[in-house]
């Protein structure tokens, strides 16, 4: 009896240990990593946002960092800092933080900072970006019928034109936009660029969506404005999916491939069934 | 005597029960740790990351549209690929990325870089070769059970749940791009070796031809799928993104635009200006993959030789 | 002249002697081994064979083509010769039909053995594509099997009737024969149906036979591969099929003549005639081979060169020359001599021809696959060659043993030489006292 009690206790102890060991999550290394945070200011149309990403070095390679507790602050000209909100990054280390227009209203310049307070895995980390706010507008000029033109104007918040800023014009496509015209254009004294659209591109239902972009500018960040147009040439469906082909599904076989074999099979098997029937006829012959 | 028997019996039963309980607890614990309902991380509208069980996730991608089915494909698209042979240095990052992403279990990669030389006088060059997704596919013509099929968006896929393993498609393909699963694919092992979590890529709880090789099925055929699972997320196929030299361009013929991620070109102009051609054009297969000749190369062909493995295209993880 | 009873005694099937039983035992052992090997294949996959991604078809497929080829002998002897009024072939019709039925059944099984997922065979019926040559093949094989079975069964009706009377002592056997004879009496009505049916079957089997082997040839010719991409393949395969079939009939008729003491019915004359027929068929086949191999060799098209080099002086050259010279040319020359057309010599030559025919299909299937358009790179060195594994051979032997088992079992219960037709030809009348006529 005594032995049995001892055995029971041991078994119970082992089972409890095993249970805890399996159900608890992995115990991670205690060494803290240094995460690198990057912040970019983007304005798409009328929407402001911050593109934030973080990575850290593991085994000499950079790996996305996602277990960060990020706080986003704004700092304005009078050096006052306000907390805007928090952000959790996705598994690939990227995140998007919306900045409402209220926050940038009436301001000339603004600075955003992203801070991660020290956590179990990561040391404290932060980064900031300071930008001068600007407005980019663009229209499609159809005066000249043969050559439509995109006219884009860049001004600051007080409607003062900004000269000599690099702009790019692109056409939206599935995986990446296609550059239109020159590699880059620079705004003139009136803060304008004029880009003729010389190449005819196809668009679904005639729709083509162009973008005018200030790409990762040190002062202004990234600003993008969109122009919708109907300049797209018609798309012809080149697939044979709806046709009867030798590479189609069974019900879309060419008619010849359906009719001829079936006729042969039908004709031959009709004869065969009759021949089998003949066997029956022979067996049923009455003795004369 | 009877009492001793009774006690032995009691001991036996009680020990048996304890052992059973131990096994049950251990089993449940092990099962829990291995078979946690696969959770996916999603971002809600407030920018918070939440975990949702896979079974509750329904994918809606704008590129798929409302009536997407794997046999018809992405609406209003026709995919093409351009491979610039002038840039290829046999880095083989494309091959490793494809092998990893599709958990390729066998000894034959779906994407292979060939050492080519057209004739004795011309220079040798590196040529990536993958399924050409032909517009008049020899493989689809001969399949007896409609297991491999040509979609409206140009992609040719394989339904590994229907394939009967006759290998006629493999005999018919002149580009030798199809591989066969001669044995039970050991992908679990492969996934573990590559340090991937079981739930990282399994956003589909159900098999679909859209993501070939997940899983690979014994006794059926596999090949490059042009990564519809990536296209659905508006991302480029793995080989295109992985290439460090910008060799692969991918895009939609109906948009006349192809990109390697960094550079985007007007497709028709790219082919015209660079005398783009297709492999074995004379066979009439009408491939969707175009090649730009190996002209004006920046680096010698020889620089790719150190990576060349004549008898290996899928790296087996070495046992420690 | 023999009496009816003597005729019946000579031609009735006999019980197995010691050798017969040993033979069945031997075949059973091979078949059991093959079944076990197939079990391994079914559970582990086709990796147990020597096939890999380049040699994606191997001896299972060449064996399948061989079976389809040799099954054409049914149409050749039973139909073509019969319709041409060649009466000396009558004793050989049953042997030919038996070979045809056995071969086509095992051919069908062999193709299932080659499938990676035979458990999904129903997909052929649920999702079959009429555009695919494989679907055509399935249809034609089924049709040909049905016709061959009917062409075997019909002439057996009068013979079953005769046998049911002969074996009256064995009540059970007699009843089975009687049932199988479908109440055959030989009266006018039955005979007219019988004659019409056999004529129709004889006519019908010829296009179906041509169809079956043409479609099988198109499994290869429908691809772009050098060595297969030939508009010649249909006729080429059919010519080869007749060679294999004729060889098979000669071999089997010699064996059965000895085991069943049929020297009076299968005479030297028959061997002589079949020998001459075989020479003719081989010469036709050699002509097709010359077209198949010489024409691309004259042109040295880039894609053909690798394949031809391998056959003419490369890895497969030894087999190529053995098959062409040993399996076709030398037999044809030998058979030109009357002495070589005597039973024993011609039997040996016929066996060589059949063996050559089996290996010829290997030469057709495998070398082409090892010389694809693009160079073979990025795969293990062993994948550059093909060598069937022991298990693969065992399964293949199993199918051949299966065919021989079917032949053996049929021969046990069915007269090798049609009794009724032989009696008719020799003018031996059936004795009246046993007929069912009631006047």
The residues spanned by each domain of chain B are: 17-58, 79-319
Q: Do A261 and C183 touch (CB under 8 A)?
A: no
Give the distance from residue C250's alpha carbon to the nearest chain B alpha carbon, in angstroms.
Answer: 34
Q: Does A11 touch chain B (CB under 8 A)?
A: yes
On whether any CB of chain A is under 8 Å from the CB of B234, the answer is yes
Q: Which residues of A touch C438 (CB under 8 A)?
A: 287
Residues 159-198 of B with CB under 8 A from C: 162-168, 170-172, 174-176, 178-184
Select the residue from B115, B145, B287 to test the C interface by mutation, using most C Cβ atoms within 10 A.
B145
- What pLDDT is stored for residue C436 in this prediction? 46
Residues of B whose CB is below 8 A from A23: 29, 32-33
Q: Are strands B289-292 and B79-84 parallel, antiparallel or unpaired?
A: parallel
Residues in chain B: 320
Q: Which of A247, A249, A250 to mutate to test the interface with B (most CBs of B within 10 A)?
A: A247
CA distance readout (Å), C262 to B1, C61, C88, C246, C258:
83, 36, 15, 19, 7
Please state the three-class secondary structure of chain A as a single string. Answer: CHHHHHHHHHHHHHHHHHHHHHHCCCCCCCCCECEEEEEEEEEECCEEEEEEEEEEEECCEEEECCCCCEEEEEECCCCCEEEEEEECCCCCCEEEEEECHHHHCCCCEEEEEEEECCCCCECCEEEEEEEECEEEEEEEECCCCCCCEEEEEEEECCCCECCCCEEEEEECCCCCCEECCCCCEECCCCCEEEEECCCCCECHHHCEEEEEEEEEECCCEEEEEEEEECCCECCCCCCCCCCCCCCCCHHHCCHHHHHHHHHHHHHHHHHHHHHHHHHHHHHCCCCC
Residues of chain A contacting residue C164, judged by C-beta atoms under 8 Å apart: none
CA distance B88 to B6: 81
Q: Which chains touch C (3 or more CB pairs under 8 A)?
A: A, B
Specify the pLDDT at position A254. 95
In angstroms, the CA C111 to CA C141 distance is 11
Helices H / strands E in chain B, number of each: 8, 13
Pairwise CB contact (< 8 Å): C194 & A282: yes
Chain A environment of C436 (Cβ under 8 Å):
287
Strongest mean pLDDT among A47-61, A63-77, C16-30: C16-30
> CB neighbours of B278 closer than 8 A, spacing ≥ 6?
B132, B286, B287, B289, B290, B291
Residue A55 CA neighbour count, 13 Å, CB half:
10
Is A261's CB within 8 Å of C150's CB?
no
The nearest alpha carbon in chain C to B314 belongs to C378
Helix (H/G/I), strand (E/B), else coil: C12: coil
Contacts of A85 in chain B (CB under 8 A): 47
CA-nearest residue to A238 within chain B is: B78
Give residue C70's pLDDT band: very low, low, confident or very high (50, 70, 90): very high
Residue A100, C-beta contacts closer than 8 angstroms, at least 6 positions apart: A48
Which residue in the set B174, B219, B283 is minimally distant from C46, CB to CB? B219
d(CA B258, CA A201) in angstroms, rounded, equals: 13
Q: What is the ipTM of this complex?
A: 0.91
A111 pairs with which residues across the strands? A75, A130
Region C269-295 average pLDDT: 94
The answer to whether C245 and C96 are in contact (CB under 8 A) is: yes
C42 and C118 Cβ atoms separated by less than 8 Å: yes
- pLDDT range class, residue A288, cuts 50, 70, 90: very low
Given a contact cutoff of 8 angstroms between Cβ atoms, the answer to whether B115 and B126 are in contact is yes
Per-residue confidence band for C95, with pLDDT thresholds at 50, 70 and 90: very high
CATH of B79-319, one of 3.40.50.10490, 3.30.70.20, 3.40.50.1110, 1.10.1040.10: 3.30.70.20
Query: Using the beta-carbon criterion (under 8 Å), do A279 and C147 form an inter-chain contact?
Result: no
Compute the nearest-CA separation of C256 from chain A (Å): 29
DSSP alpha helices (H): ranges in C336-389? 343-369
Residues in chain C: 439
Query: What residues 75-114 of chain A have any CB closer than 8 A to a CB of chain B?
Result: 85, 87-91, 95-98
From B26, B140, B251, residue closest to A173, measured CB to CB: B251
Least confident of A193-207, A264-278, C165-179: C165-179
And the tokens for C423? 């009696």
Mind telling me how many Å the CA of C193 is from chain A's nearest CA? 7
pLDDT in the model for residue B198? 47
Interface of A with B in 205-244 (CB under 8 A): 235, 237-241
Contacts of C147 in chain A (CB under 8 A): 272
Determine if the peptide bond prior to B215 is cis (ω within 30°): yes
Q: Are strands B264-266 and B289-292 parallel, antiparallel or unpaired?
A: unpaired
Residues 88-117 in B contacting A (C-alpha not used; CB under 8 Å): none
Task: Tell me how crowded residue C413 is: count the other CB atoms within 10 A of its CB.
Answer: 14
The beta-carbon neighbor of C373 closest among B164, B174, B178 is B174
Which of A14 and B141 is assigned the larger pLDDT?
A: B141
Give the burial string for B260-284 (b: 16+ CB within 10 Å, else e).
Answer: bbeebbbbbebbeebebebbbeebe
Nearest chain C residue to A280, by CA: C182
Write down which chains contact chain B via at least 3 CB pairs under 8 A: A, C
Per-residue pLDDT of chain B (320 residues; tens, 9 = 90+): 555 666 666 666 666 666 666 665 655 555 555 555 556 666 665 556 666 665 555 555 678 888 889 999 999 999 999 999 999 999 999 999 999 999 998 899 999 999 999 999 999 999 999 999 999 999 999 999 999 999 999 999 999 999 999 999 999 999 999 999 999 998 875 455 544 444 444 444 578 999 999 889 999 999 999 999 999 999 999 999 999 999 999 999 999 999 999 999 999 999 999 999 999 999 999 999 999 999 888 778 888 899 899 999 998 765 44
CA–CA distances in Å: residue A111 to residues A50, A73, A104, B9: 11, 8, 10, 79
Q: What is the DSSP letter of B123?
A: P
B15 touches chain C (CB under 8 A): no
| Short-list B262, B258, B243, CA closest to B290 | B258
Cα separation, B169 vs C223, in Å, equals: 9
Residue, of B65 and A232, whose pLDDT is higher: A232
B32–A199 CB contact, under 8 Å? no
């Amino acid at each position: 009896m005594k032995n049995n009690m001892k055995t029971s206790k041991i078994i119970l102890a082992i089972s409890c240990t095993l249970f805890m060991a399996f159900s608890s999550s992995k115990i991670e290394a205690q060494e803290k990593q240094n995460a690198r945070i990057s912040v970019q200011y983007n304005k798409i149309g009328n929407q402001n946002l911050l593109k934030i990403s973080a990575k850290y070095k593991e085994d000499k390679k950079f790996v996305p960092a996602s277990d960060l507790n990020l706080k986003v602050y704004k700092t304005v000209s009078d050096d006052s800092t306000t907390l805007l909100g928090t952000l959790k990054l996705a598994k690939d280390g990227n995140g998007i933080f919306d900045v409402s227009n209220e926050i940038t209203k009436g301001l000339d310049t603004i600075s955003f900072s992203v801070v991660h307070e020290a956590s179990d895995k990561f040391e404290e980390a932060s980064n900031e970006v300071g930008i001068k706010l600007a407005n980019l507008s663009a229209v499609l000029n159809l005066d000249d019928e043969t050559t439509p033109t995109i006219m884009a104007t860049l001004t600051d918040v007080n409607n003062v034109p900004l000269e000599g800023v690099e702009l790019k014009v692109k056409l939206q496509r599935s995986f990446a936009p296609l550059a239109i015209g020159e590699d880059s254009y620079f705004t003139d004294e009136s803060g304008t660029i004029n880009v003729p659209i010389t190449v005819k591109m196809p668009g679904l239902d005639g729709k083509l969506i162009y973008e005018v972009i200030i790409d990762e500018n040190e002062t202004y960040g990234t600003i993008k404005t969109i122009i919708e147009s109907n300049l797209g040439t018609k798309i012809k469906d080149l697939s044979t999916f709806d046709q009867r082909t030798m590479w189609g599904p069974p019900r879309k076989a060419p008619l010849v491939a359906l009719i001829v074999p079936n006729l042969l099979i039908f004709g031959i098997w009709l004869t065969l069934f009759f021949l089998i029937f003949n066997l029956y006829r022979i067996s049923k012959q009455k003795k004369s | 005597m009877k009492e001793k028997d009774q006690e032995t019996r009691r001991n036996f039963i009680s020990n048996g029960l304890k052992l059973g309980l131990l096994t049950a607890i251990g089993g449940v614990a092990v099962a829990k740790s291995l078979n946690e309902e696969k959770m996916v991380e999603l971002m809600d509208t407030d920018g918070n990351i939440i975990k949702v069980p896979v079974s509750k996730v329904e994918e809606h991608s704008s590129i798929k549209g409302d009536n997407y089915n794997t046999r018809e494909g992405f609406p209003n698209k026709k995919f093409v690929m351009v491979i610039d042979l002038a840039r290829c240095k046999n880095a083989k990052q494309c091959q490793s990325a494809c092998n990893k992403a599709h958990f390729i279990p066998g000894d034959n990669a779906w994407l292979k870089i060939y050492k080519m030389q057209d004739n004795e006088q011309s220079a040798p060059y590196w040529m990536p070769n993958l399924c050409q997704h032909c517009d008049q596919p020899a493989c689809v013509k001969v399949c007896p059970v409609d297991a491999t099929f040509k979609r409206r968006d140009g992609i040719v896929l394989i339904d590994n749940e229907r394939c009967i393993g006759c290998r006629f498609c493999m005999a018919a393909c002149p580009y030798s791009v199809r591989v066969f699963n001669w044995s039970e694919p050991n992908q679990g092992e492969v996934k573990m070796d590559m340090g991937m979590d079981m739930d990282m890529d399994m956003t589909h709880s159900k098999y679909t031809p859209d993501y070939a090789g997940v899983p690979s099925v014994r006794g059926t055929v596999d090949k490059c799928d042009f990564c519809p699972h990536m296209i659905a997320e508006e991302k480029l196929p793995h080989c295109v993104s992985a290439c460090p030299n910008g060799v692969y361009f991918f895009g939609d013929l109906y948009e006349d635009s192809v990109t390697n991620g960094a550079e985007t070109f007007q497709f028709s102009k790219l082919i015209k200006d660079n005398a783009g051609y297709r492999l074995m054009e004379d066979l009439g297969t009408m491939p969707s993959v175009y090649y730009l000749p190996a002209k004006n190369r920046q680096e010698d062909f020889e620089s790719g030789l150190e990576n060349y493995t004549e008898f290996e295209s899928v790296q087996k993880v070495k046992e420690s | 002249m023999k009496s009816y009873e003597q005729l019946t005694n000579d031609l009735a099937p006999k019980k197995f002697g010691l050798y017969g039983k040993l033979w069945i035992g031997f075949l059973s052992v091979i078949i059991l081994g093959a079944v076990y090997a197939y079990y391994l294949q079914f559970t582990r996959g086709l990796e147990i064979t020597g096939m890999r991604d380049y040699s994606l078809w191997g001896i299972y497929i060449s064996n399948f083509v061989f079976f389809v080829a040799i099954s054409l002998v049914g149409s050749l002897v039973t139909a073509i010769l019969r319709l041409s009024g060649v009466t000396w072939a009558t004793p050989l019709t049953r042997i030919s039909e038996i070979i045809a039925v056995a071969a086509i059944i095992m051919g069908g099984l062999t193709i299932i053995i080659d499938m990676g997922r035979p458990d999904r065979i129903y997909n052929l019926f649920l999702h079959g594509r009429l555009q695919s040559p494989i679907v055509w093949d399935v249809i034609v094989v089924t049709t040909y099997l049905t016709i061959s079975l009917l062409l075997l069964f019909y002439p057996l009706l009068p013979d079953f009737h005769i046998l049911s009377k002969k074996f009256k002592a064995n009540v059970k056997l007699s009843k089975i024969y009687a049932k199988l004879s479908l109440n055959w009496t030989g009266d006018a009505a039955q005979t007219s149906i019988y004659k019409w049916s056999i004529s129709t079957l004889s006519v019908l089997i010829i296009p179906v036979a041509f169809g079956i082997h043409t479609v099988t040839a198109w499994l290869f010719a429908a691809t772009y591969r050098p060595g297969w991409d030939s508009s010649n393949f249909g006729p080429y395969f059919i010519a080869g099929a007749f060679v294999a079939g004729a060889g098979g009939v000669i071999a089997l008729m010699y064996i059965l003549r000895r085991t069943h003491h049929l020297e009076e019915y299968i005479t030297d004359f028959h061997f002589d005639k079949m020998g001459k027929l075989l020479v003719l068929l081989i010469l036709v086949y050699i002509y097709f081979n010359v077209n198949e191999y010489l024409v691309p060799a004259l042109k040295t098209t880039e894609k053909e060169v690798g394949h031809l080099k391998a056959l003419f002086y490369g890895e497969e050259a030894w087999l190529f020359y053995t098959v062409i010279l040993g399996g076709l040319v030398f037999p044809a020359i030998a058979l030109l001599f009357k002495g070589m057309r005597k039973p024993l010599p011609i039997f040996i030559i016929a066996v060589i021809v059949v063996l050559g025919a089996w290996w010829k299909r290997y030469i057709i299937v495998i070398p082409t696959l090892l010389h694809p358009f693009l160079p073979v790179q990025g795969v293990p060195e062993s994948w550059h060659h093909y060598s069937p594994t022991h298990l693969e051979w065992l399964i293949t032997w199993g199918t051949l043993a299966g065919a021989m088992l079917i032949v053996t079992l049929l021969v046990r219960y069915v007269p090798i030489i049609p009794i009724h037709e032989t009696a008719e030809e020799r003018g031996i009348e059936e004795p009246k006292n046993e007929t069912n006529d009631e006047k």
